[in-house]
Amino acid sequence: MRNFHSKLLAIGLAVAITLSALMPVPAEAAALSTYLQNKYVDWLLRGQAYTPPTTVYVALATSASGASACGTEVSGGSYARVSVTSSLSNWAGTQSAGSTTVSSGTSGQTSNNGAITFPAPTANWGTIVSFCVFDASSGGNMLFYASLTTSKTVNNGDAAPSFAAGALTYTIN
């Protein structure tokens, strides 16, 4: 149960994000979706079963996201959500960035251990203003989201947008 709880919390109780040079810094810590808030409360306090996703999918949106829905997700032009498997090797332990052992730190923070890179755009994607994390490669349930401090216009032929290793950090308060 402790391992399950750690994974669930690592997925998103609170998220502070710093992006690589290709993506702007988000405006605020990400917030849990209504879906995940309900699942977490029911699992933790009401004894209901919840199986966290073994893989999460990072999405980009051209309009603001909220607790009940992701903004307008990018579509076309080779866009696809990026999958990240939930594992010790893909997400750092709370003791330090880049660690691959079970969390033992006191910071409540984890980060991606590898780059999260979207496909190179083959059409204009528009101006990216937020991102969302889902439990499926399309459709599915949104888990958490955040707005970007500075929007990023992504056009045909631009370099593939990417979150550098260690740039996507989750802080559990």
Cα separations in angstroms, 70 against 26, 84, 88, 138, 144: 15, 18, 27, 12, 9
Report the residue count for the chain.
173
Look at residue 167 in the predicted model and tell me its pLDDT. Answer: 77
Q: What is the CA radius of gyration of the chain?
A: 15
Report how far residue 32's alpha carbon sits from residue 39's, in angstroms, rounded to the nearest whole number.
Answer: 11
pLDDT digits (tens, 9 = 90+) for 2-46: 454 444 444 443 333 333 334 444 334 568 899 999 999 999 999
- Spatial separation of the C-alpha atoms in residues 108 and 23, rounded to whole Å: 24
The model's pTM: 0.79
2-6, 34-38, 118-122, 146-150: the lowest-pLDDT one = 2-6
Query: Is residue 136 within 8 Å of residue 98, measured between CB atoms?
Result: no
Q: Which two tokens stand for residue 16?
A: 């502070």
Q: Tens of pLDDT along 84-115?
A: 999 999 999 999 999 999 999 998 887 889 99
CA distances from 21 to 50, 82, 83, 119, 165 (A): 36, 18, 21, 16, 12
Tell me the sheet residues that pair with 168. Answer: 17
pLDDT confidence of residue 148? 78
